[in-house]
Amino acid sequence: MRDDLSPPQPGQLLARGAARALVDLGFAVVAEMPLRARLRADLMALGPKGELWIVECKSCRADFRADHKWQGYLDWCDRYFWAVDAAFPRDLLPEATGVILADGYGGEILRQGPEARLAPARRKVVTLDFARAAAQRLQARLDPGAPRAGLL
């Protein structure tokens, strides 16, 4: 967890820029979104038409090579993206995934991730989890002393 006085880490800057790009496209974004498969997506975005995208932020080659669970995210979204900075070797990223070029101020989609629409039952579960996580985080900000349960 980041102390408010410490500078953001590279992955946090990528997440901020990618989130800003998604918000510009009309998406609502939740960072560090827990998934039922015991995974935690760096960013999950809910679009204006109900589409669900996951973005994983990779700040360097070693960070990417250490990620052995990214394919598990594919079952929980309609599109999957990597967020990387300009120095990242993009040839490492699988062709069948999207790419967002980001920095601490914004981002842009360089390659759209292929669409693999979620089944209706899975979509309902993920959308409800997204809504509950967002609402619980807002409530925690409004009432920091209240007991917490659930997704956060």
Question: Is pLDDT larger for residue 3 or for residue 142?
Answer: 142
pLDDT at 17: 98
Whether residue 150 is predicted with pLDDT greater than 80 in this model: the reply is no
**Residues 6 or more apart whose Cβ sits within 8 Å of residue 2:** 8, 9, 12
| 102 in Cβ contact with 17 (< 8 Å) | yes
Residue pLDDT, tens place only, 12-65: 999 999 999 999 999 999 999 999 879 999 999 999 999 999 999 999 999 999
Residue pLDDT, tens place only, 100-137: 999 999 999 999 999 999 999 999 999 999 999 999 99
Residue pLDDT, tens place only, 65-107: 998 899 999 999 999 999 999 999 999 999 999 999 999 999 9
Secondary structure (H, E, C), the chain = CCCCCCCCCHHHHHHHHHHHHHHHCCCEEEEEEEECCCEEEEEEEECCCCCEEEEEECCCHHHHHCCCCHHHHHHHCCEEEEEECCCCCHHHCCCCCEEEEECCCCEEEEECCCCCCCCHHHHHHHHHHHHHHHHHHHHHHHCCCCCCCCCC
pTM: 0.92
Give 148's pLDDT tier (boundaries 50, 70, 90): confident
What are the residue ranges spanned by the domains of the chain?
10-117
C-alpha span between 79 and 41 (Å, rounded): 13
pLDDT at 6: 86
Residue pLDDT, tens place only, 10-24: 999 999 999 999 999
Angle, vertex CA 96, rays to CA 64 and CA 92, nearest 5: 30
* CATH number, domain 10-117, options 3.40.1350, 3.30.70, 3.40.50, 2.60.40: 3.40.1350
Question: Is pLDDT larger for residue 112 or for residue 6?
Answer: 112
> Comparing C-alpha atoms, which of 55, 69, 30, 54 is closest to residue 152?
30
pLDDT at 142: 94
